[in-house]
Structure 1
Amino acid sequence: MSKQETNDKQDLVSSLPPVEKAAILLMSLGEENAAEVLRHMGPKEVQKIGLCMAKLQNVRKDQVEAVMADFMDVFSNQTALGVGADGYIRKMLVNALGEDKAGTLVDRILTGGNTTGLDTLRWMDSRSVADIIRFEHPQIQAIVVAYLDSDQAAETLSFFDEKVRLDIIMRIASLESVQPHAMQELNDILEKQFSKQTGSASTNMGGSKCAADIMNFLDTNAESTLMEGIKDIDEELAQEISDMMFVFDNLGDVDDRGIQALLREVSSESLILALKGADENVKEKIFGNMSKRAAELLRDDLEAKGPVKLSEVETAQKEILGIARRMADAGEIVLGGKGGEEMV
């Protein structure tokens, strides 16, 4: 294969969202092999990849070959004796699902499939989680929601009324650690054994940052209403949470290298929708980190797209922000603006 052909295949793979690469790879494996892989995933990931599979249409042969080549390139770096297998599994799942989603799944696989009661909730749909904790003590509700991934936590909150949401987020913001007896109580409620371990160390969770991360995933109206409610109770806390939140326009503060890395993970359709409602500063930041030709094509696509629903723009922006936060957590980029750390 020539160097140009190799570069072309790499471009094809880099333009695909991670979940789409995973879907193409699984569909290429055949039903039995794909089913065996999916057997190790939880309902949330299976649903996400399955939905992507269902939406795949007219996948070109060169795309399939590029995804397979990318997979084999990763695979070939592992030894035939299984040395480094843990690292391979971790990298494969992170590439397919993202750091946040793969974390618990990796632990399940590498530790023999055992999960605690709290971890079990991470594999359930958000409505079911909300139903399970709906009539529990508010502090129990706060601990559960704080333990979930931020996007799942936000979706779980959406199934509660405004007053309950405010109470839960205020409790999350004031959490610092949870003592073992509280965790044991929670696992008793879930009818699961919390852990085989008997250590007395407390579990760190919650806090203003946790509250901010969850609120980042709420829809705009719910986020605004919740923030006003927090201000009424504790204006200083509201400001602290607001300072830690990262919104789409803050992408203009991310360095060029970070923007370029982010663009490799974002689909063209999501980017077009997100930029329809973006600040000019963000648009220019994006254009400035593309080749001249790619920037021209993106500008043309934006003009040709015409008016779109605000809800579609917000959904696309939150999707991109989710990718940005996942990359930031993995140390791949540094987020500027709200929530960004000072560089020294």
Structure 2
Amino acid sequence: MSLTQTKSLSALTGPQRAATLMLAIGEERAGRLLARMHEDEVRDVSAAMAQLGSVSAEIVEGLCQEFTEQVGKAGSLVGSWETTERLLLRGLPKDRVAQIMEELRGPAGRTMWDKLGNVNEAVLANYLKNEYPQTVAVVLTKIRPDHAARVLALLPNSFAMEVVMRMLRMESPQAEALEGVERTLKAEFMSNLARSTRRDSHELLAEIMNNLDRGAEGRIMSGLEERAAESASRIRSLMFTFEDLNRLDAAGVAVLLRAVEKERLIVALKGSSDTLRDHFMKSMSERASRMLRDDISALGPVRLKDVEEAQMAMVALAKELAQQGEIRLAEGEVEEMVY
């Protein structure tokens, strides 16, 4: 419906109101505003603008007055998921609003590949291991090399090798193939990920702390204990560190040992406590434990960064095995027992 057919201001849609205001403020200012909008918003406003037709001075004046009155009444403003969703529902269809909110709650990034590049490598690897090797190969060629490397390292060995072989033989993916992969990822992975992002802030911070190096973690947690001791205590109880693997039972340790790469295990245990190292050795045969001790001794000096990366990778692997129900992790502080 063009504005030549519109009798009242209340009949205007959201995009029509935005388009009218854009025209009213002039090309230079409107151009600066459009440059800050998402491409979908630009498309909606542009489509409305192209169909405006002749706009009466009465409608323009009424719209500008309404806008200034609403801004003047607002006072202090509070932005939230709920207010954003309500605002979008005033001018967009319900299904489109649901799609936008899912995208907002998901990882940051304009394109699908930008968003995918901001997904935690353990989460992405856990999803991709169930996909076709060709699909995974396409994904790894589209995200940053450093991120792709971390994802590849967390995939099962035989599957990772198959993916690498597909990448070696891959020619430039056709547009249809890329679009198909994008649709699948958006429909199955990103939508589920967006719905699962409404998490307790303490849980999210605990996971972030697990991925910090020890120096940064210590500084941040010390500062947090001074400012919010209760929150710091809760975050610590939710954290699962490499040393917490000491609480795995013998069966769980055995499963983890079969799943982890030997080189990674050697580097990780090189920087572990004697208690944790002995805990792993007890679940091995005498010959295997002796060989592991010899390998650790023969390794020589290792950079702390390499040790921490190996240990974080083992923690990520342990969490993945726990999600699959193969081992049981006892996170946080050990609960007090009454006998």
Q: TM-score range by the shorter chain?
A: 0.3 to 0.5
Find the structure with the greater CA-based Rg.
Answer: 2
TM-score (norm 2): 0.46
Q: TM-score, normalised by structure 1?
A: 0.45
